[in-house]
Amino acid sequence: MIDALRISRQDGDFVLESRLRLERPRSEVFPFFADTGNLDALTPPWLHFRILTPRPIEMRVGTFIDYRLRIHGIPLAWRSEITAYDPPHRFVDEQRRGPYRSWRHEHLFSETGEGTLIEDRVRYRTWGGPLVHALLVRRDLEGIFRFRRERLRERLDPSGSRAATGAV
């Protein structure tokens, strides 16, 4: 299993890259992500995350999804728009309102000989720049994505195989 998480800087933005290989076919993995109801299971409880958009939510280009969450106890509204949707290969959500100056999250799904490689590429800007990122945002995002990957393993890779770890 590939399991890697990295945050770097590119052209003034921060870029989070996560890779996780699960021993499940893409035909099972992609629909799990396309069902917005599964966001609850992938989000740490300390964020008090709640989807406000009435369900079921049809995933397609132009879909808006509204959420409520708490970051460090501060209640926030977040609105995402699906800006690319190419099942079962990829989709992109972009923040239209929320806690970041900008946020673009690309989800990629590739078949491998051992299952499905899930790649997340998040390009974002924070209010307060590098200092706020270093003090708060980086640690929060690393924790959120670690939680998310653990829940994915539990739900989609019950064998728990963790044979290989690699850098992105």
Residue 163 included in any domain? no
Q: Is 155 exposed, middle or buried (0-12, 13-18, 19+ CB in 10 A)?
A: middle
Residue 167 included in any domain? no
Lowest mean pLDDT: which of 28-37, 87-96, 154-163? 154-163
We report the CATH number of the domain holding residue 129 as: 3.30.530.20
**Residue 2 confidence class, pLDDT cut points 50, 70, 90:** low
**Residue 166 confidence class, pLDDT cut points 50, 70, 90:** very low
Residue 83 included in any domain? yes
Q: Output the pLDDT for position 103.
A: 98
* Angle of CA points 141, 91, 37, to nearest 5°: 70
For 41-50, how does the pLDDT look when each residue is reduced to its tens digit (9 = 90+)? Answer: 999 999 999 9
Residue 61 pLDDT greater than 80, yes or no: yes
Of residues 28, 2, 146, 69, the one with CA closest to residue 80 = 69
Q: Are strands 74-86 and 90-97 parallel, antiparallel or unpaired?
A: antiparallel
Q: Output the pLDDT for position 138.
A: 97
Residue 165 included in any domain? no
Mean pLDDT along residues 152-162: 76
Residue 54 included in any domain? yes
Q: To the nearest whole percent, how much of the chain has pLDDT over 90?
A: 89
Task: Return the structure tokens found at 40.
Answer: 């609850």
Mean pLDDT along residues 134-144: 96
Q: Output the pLDDT for position 84.
A: 98
Residue 64 pLDDT greater than 70, yes or no: yes
pTM of the model: 0.91
Full domain range(s) for residue 10: 3-156
Q: How many domains does the chain have?
A: 1
Mean pLDDT along residues 133-148: 96
Q: Which amino acid is at 159?
A: S
Mean pLDDT along residues 5-25: 95
Q: Output the pLDDT for position 163.
A: 39
Residue 161 included in any domain? no
Residue 125 included in any domain? yes
Residue 164 included in any domain? no
For 77-123, how does the pLDDT look when each residue is reduced to its tens digit (9 = 90+)? Answer: 999 999 999 999 999 999 999 999 999 999 999 999 889 999 999 99
